[in-house]
Amino acid sequence: MTQTLTIARMGHQGDGIAETPNGLVFVPGALPGEVISAEVKDGRAEQFDLLEPSPDRRPIHSETYAECGVAPMQHWADEPYLAWKRDVVIQTLAREGIETEVEATVAVPQASRRRLALHARSGPGGRVLLGFKARRSWRLVELTDCPVSDPALIAALPGLAKVAAPFLGHPKSAPTLHVTLTDTGLDVDVTGVEKKSGGLTADVKARAIAAAHEADLARLSLDGDTLVMARQPRITFGRATVPLPPAAFLQAAPAAEAAMVSRAVEAVRGAKKVADLFCGAGTFTFPLAEVASVIAADSSAASIAALKAGVSTAQGLKTIDAQARDLFRRPLSPFDLKGCDAIVFDPPRAGALEQTQQLPGTKASVVVGVSCNPQTFARDARILIDAGFRLEKVTPIDQFLWSTHVELVGVFRR
C-alpha cells in the first residue's frame, strides 16, 4: 500500500526517517522536511516519489555514486550535510553521557582522495570492469566518474583494468585493487585472488607485471607481497619522506590528514616527550617530533621499519624511538610510558580499549584521540573521563566526502 510520508530527520546511516503510527520508516535518499509517496515494507521504502522536495536538495555529482551507494549524501547541500555529521558525533558522545564542545565539521575538497578500493569483474566481450558494488547488492557498478578522487586515479583506470585482467582467470577469484597515489606514483595491492588451487602460474604473473609496467605503476603487490617495483612508493609526513610498505595504511585524503595532524601537534605543544600509539608509518610521528621527542608504537613491523627509514631523511627532529608492538595484546604500560607528558593514539575502528585503560596510570597531562569510529571513541573517552581527564573539545572531520562516515580528533586534559 502506498503511503504519504514526511521525513522528520536523518538517521546515522544516511536514511531519511519518517515517524508513523506504525513506527519509524527508513527512506534511503530522502532528506529532512521532504514529503514523499512510497510503498513501505518492513519499515523501509527503497523507492519513492518526491512530492515536496527540500530546498537543501542538490543535483547529484556522480551517476556512479548514485547507483552504488558509497556516497549516499551527495544530493544534500553542504551546510546541513556537515551539520548532520557534527550532530552524529554529539549524539554518539551523549549515549556515553559525555558533553563537550564539538567544533564545526572540517570539510575536504573534491578531487582530493588518494586511495580507492576497486572491485574487478569480467564484463561483456571479455572487457574488465572496475568499480564498486551496488547498494545492497553484489552487482558491480563500473566506475566512470569519481568527483571525490584525485584525477590521477581516474586517469589510470584503463591501465588498472589491464592490470586486473590476469587475476580474473580463476572462477573463484574476485580481485580487489587497492590503489594508493603516492609521491612516486601509483601503488597497487591486489586481494581476493584464488590461490588455493595451485597458486598463480608464471604466465599470469608475467602478464600482470607487463601490465604494471605499461600502466607505469610504482609497485604491484599481491596480498602485500611485491610482484614488481619500478620505483619505491614514498609518502611525505612532515619533514620526512617515508618508503611506504605494500598494503600499508594511509589516510585517504591529504586535507583530512593535515587537519588531524595540526590539531594533535597544537594540543601537545609544550610537551617534552610524546607517545604516538598506533603510529603506522609515521603520519603523526614526524610532525610531533618537530616539537617533542616521540615514542612511536604500532603492531605492523613493516610500518615501523618504514618509519625508521624515514628518520634519516628528515633534519631538525627530536628523538624518535619506534617499536613494533601489538597494542591490543601488549598495550604500553605506565612504566613503558614513563616520562611521557602527552599521548596521541589513532587506533583502527575497534578503538583502543586495552591501551586506553593504561593511560590514567601515566603522568601524561594531555591525551589526543584520533578516531574513524565515534562509537568506540566515545567508549574509550568514558574511561579517560572517569579517571579524571576532561574532554576539552572534539573536531569532526569529513574525510570520506558524501558518505555516512565521520572521523574526529578529541583533546583530553587532566
Catalytic residues: 372
pLDDT the model gives residue 145: 82
Structural contact between residues 60 and 75, judged by C-beta atoms closer than 8 angstroms: yes
3-state helix, strand and coil shares in percent for the chain, rounded to the nearest 5:
25, 30, 45
Please give the CATH number for the structural domain made up of 115-233: 2.40.50.1070
Burial profile 11-21: b = 16 or more Cβ within 10 angstroms, e = fewer: ebebbbbbeee
**How many C-beta neighbours within 10 Å does residue 251 have?**
23
Residue indicated by cell numbers 547488492: 137
> CATH: 3.20.20.150, 3.40.50.150, 3.40.50.11540, 3.30.750.24. Which one for 82-108+253-413?
3.40.50.150
Neighbours of 325 (CB within 10 A): 16
| Residue partners of 16: CB distance under 8 A and separation at least 6 | 7, 9, 10, 26, 27, 28, 29, 30, 31, 32, 34
Ranges for all domains in the chain classified under CATH 2.40.50.140: 2-57
In the chain, where does the domain assigned CATH 2.40.50.1070 lie? Answer: 115-233
| Alpha-carbon span 352 to 346, nearest angstrom | 8
What's the mean pLDDT when you consider all of the chain? 95
Specify the pLDDT at position 46. Answer: 87
Q: How many helices (H) and strands (E) does the chain have?
A: 10, 22
pLDDT of residue 338: 97
In the three-class reduction of DSSP (H, G, I as helix; E, B as strand; rest coil), residue 256 is classed as helix
Q: Is the pLDDT of residue 197 over 70?
A: no
**102-155: pLDDT as tens digits:** 999 999 999 999 999 999 999 888 899 999 988 777 788 899 888 999 999 999
Q: pLDDT-derived band of residue 271, with 50, 70 and 90 as boundaries? A: very high
pLDDT at 64: 80
Return the amino acid letter for 165: A
Cβ atoms of 378 and 333 closer than 8 Å: no
Give the closest residue to 157 by CA, choosing from 120, 204, 210: 120
At 251, the pLDDT band (50, 70, 90 cuts) reads very high
Where exactly does CATH 3.40.50.150 map onto the chain? Answer: 82-108+253-413
The C-alpha angle with vertex 396 and arms to 183 and 282, in degrees rounded to 5, equals 35
**Other CB atoms within 10 Å distance of the CB of residue 137:** 11
Domain 2-57 class in CATH = mainly beta
Is the distance from CB of 306 to CB of 248 less than 8 angstroms? yes
CA atoms within 13 A on the CB side of 338: 2
More confident position, 138 or 365: 365
**Rounded (10°) CA dihedral 138, 402, 224, 130:** 50
Q: pLDDT digit string (tens) for 6-23?
A: 999 999 999 999 999 999
**Grid coordinates representing 392?**
576539552
Kind of pairing between the strands at 176-182 and 185-191:
antiparallel
Q: Hey, what's the cell of 230? A: 619500478
> Which residues fall in the annotated binding site for S-adenosyl-L-methionine?
251, 278, 298, 346
